[in-house]
Amino acid sequence: MNVVGNLVLVPLFLSRWSTAKYGEWMALCAVVAYFSLTDLGMNSAAANAMIAAYARNDLARYRYLQSSAMAFYLGLAGGISLLSGILLVRLPVATWIGIREVPARLAGAIIWLLAVRLLWQMPAAQLGSVYRTMGNLACTEWLTNLQATGILVVTVAVLWFHGDMLSLAMWSVAPMILVALGAWLSLRRSHPQMLPKLSEARLAGLRELLNPSLLFGLIMLSMALTLQAPVLLVSRVLGGAAVALLVTTRTLANVIRQAIGPIQIALWPELTRLDAVGAEAALRLGHRLLTVGSVALCAAFGGALWFEGAGVMAVWTRGKLSADPWLLRYFLIAMVLQAPWLASSLFTTASNRHRRLAQSYAISAILALAAIALLLRPCGLAAVPLGGLIGEALASYHFVIKDACGVLKEDYPRFVARLWAGVGVISLAGWSAGYLGSSLAIGPAPLRWLEVGISTTTSAALAAWTVGLQRGDRQLLTRWGHIRWVALRAAQAELAA
């Protein structure tokens, strides 16, 4: 839904609003994103602990942790909603971030409405995540999908009827309320014993979750600084039109991240369960497969957009934005180099052993912002991906992967040598295929993109299979594939009979 939303909404925004107005909407959303930091990482820490308790069949501990987390969220959402309303009335936030198209008071009201939606989504998400902790991740994700669909429909409707920013902020609250009510009614009907009860909340439970949650909170703060602070810097220095180009280009480069994200979301609770029962060999295998697979997908996507990205931007935005090819290419390089350490980070976050990861995130964000601030005027928008590359290279590439290998008892020197050699070979294969595919592709633009994408995906997959994976991993995957093929043929024969 995020991918579809981004593809549909960007041209719709640009057809209804001016480029500067759209850029300022993104700047307001960037301010609101910081309200997510009030979560303090409690959702991730509580979910990990609850999954582990459920895996061990310790339902008393499960309910104790669940109720404590829910009490925290309700108090937080109510308190911050009230405090933020008072501060937004009194502080010139719009002036601070360079908003010119929207009156200051109206900008404050828009920020508050979007913030309220984000704050009350936290306790609402706790209801939906109950299914995830019981092993039914699909139900949790369907609730998330329903909310995403609702927000998409509301946004399209408001823009289609030429609504303004305030109307969009007001109507976007409705899907969250409806999905939260649906989740509560669903649990009340199917699993009433799993509904949180505030009477079972304990301060000791909150204290137990606080340490891992604060580390998750540090990661969230670092991610917000990395994603949203550059938007505010660009808005302040270069204006709303530059923000629109930056956000749109970064969104296009990160589409593949949104494809990998569901895989990681699906794996997270399973990795937590494997860690709870001590299945170290399975975790190490998963680590190798996820890192190599993430690199292959990113290299295939990056190789295609390196040569075709400017054309994609022109068609996607209907000519409203002129693509900066090298800005996109810098983002693509950063995306491929991020893939290994982001995949590794999942294995420490899933087990609540993410102290070093949080430190790396924080240091990387600080270094990246410092680099962006120094490079923004001389380098323009290219400072954003270049600053991110500098911060991650100094704080994440080595330390995050080494930490994950330590948790998984993996031989780090051997693993990392093979991994980065694989990154080089897979990237070379993807980019070479992108060059040849772009040179030989025929037909209209969508057909060209498909041809180039097929060539880069095929080349990156072959390189990942031959170089990125160990011999034993290839044998195991081949055996799994054979077993699934035999099972499929048997099922077909049974149906035919």
Give phi and psi for 163, each to the nearest 5: -70, 160
Amino acid letter, residue 384: V
434-464 confidence digits (pLDDT tens): 999 999 888 888 888 899 999 999 999 999 9
Matching residue, tokens 């820490």: 45
CA-CA-CA-CA torsion sign (482, 487, 491, 496): positive
Matching residue, tokens 């990205």: 309
Q: Which residue did the predictor score with more confidence, 291 or 192? A: 291
- pLDDT for residue 461: 92
Distance CA 8, CA 2 (A): 10
Distance CA 32, CA 114 (A): 7
Amino acid letter, residue 125: A
Q: What's the distance, Cα to Cα, between the start and end of the chain in Å?
A: 40
- HSE, CB side, 13 Å, CA atoms: give it for residue 380: 8
Q: Which residue did the predictor score with more confidence, 399 or 21? A: 399
Distance CA 174, CA 172 (A): 6
Average the pLDDT over each of 316-330, 424-438, 452-466 and give the range with the smallest value.
316-330
H-helix or E-strand containing 222? Answer: helix 203-237
Distance CA 458, CA 244 (A): 33
Residue 103: how many CB atoms within 10 A of its CB? 10
CA distances from 234 to 225, 227, 242 (A): 13, 12, 7
Matching residue, tokens 């993996």: 410
pLDDT at 296 over 90: yes
Matching residue, tokens 């090298």: 326
175-204 confidence digits (pLDDT tens): 989 988 988 888 888 888 888 888 777 888
pTM of the model: 0.72
Phi-psi region of 411 (alpha: psi -120 to 50; beta: other; left: phi over 0): beta
Q: Contact 140/131 with Cβ under 8 angstroms?
A: yes
Sort 377 into a burial class: Cβ within 10 Å, 0-12 / 13-18 / 19+: exposed
| Residues contacting 384, CB < 8 A, separation 6+ | 230, 234, 246, 250, 372, 376
Q: Contact 27/231 with Cβ under 8 angstroms?
A: yes
Distance CA 222, CA 194 (A): 33
Q: Which residue did the predictor score with more confidence, 46 or 391? A: 391
Mean pLDDT of 246-272: 85
Amino acid letter, residue 406: G
SS (H, E, C) 401-454: HHHHHHHHCCCHHHHHHHHHHHHHHHHHHHHHHHHHHHHHCCCCHHHHHHHHHH
Q: What is the DSSP letter of 17?
A: S
Distance CA 279, CA 49 (A): 17
- pLDDT for residue 294: 92
Q: What is the DSSP letter of 91?
A: S
Residue 8: how many CB atoms within 10 A of its CB? 14
Matching residue, tokens 């501060």: 87
232-256 confidence digits (pLDDT tens): 888 888 887 888 888 888 888 888 8
137-158 confidence digits (pLDDT tens): 888 888 888 888 898 899 889 9
Amino acid letter, residue 282: A
CA 22 to chain centre: 22
Distance CA 184, CA 475 (A): 46
CA distances from 228 to 28, 250, 371 (A): 10, 12, 15
Distance CA 299, CA 332 (A): 9
- HSE, CB side, 13 Å, CA atoms: give it for residue 424: 5
Confidence band for 25, pLDDT divided at 50, 70 and 90? confident
Q: Contact 125/147 with Cβ under 8 angstroms?
A: no
Q: Contact 185/48 with Cβ under 8 angstroms?
A: no
Q: Contact 403/348 with Cβ under 8 angstroms?
A: yes
CA distances from 240 to 97, 98, 104, 163, 236 (A): 10, 8, 16, 20, 8
- pLDDT for residue 486: 66
Average the pLDDT over each of 23-37, 113-127, 216-230, 316-330 and give the range with the smallest value.
23-37
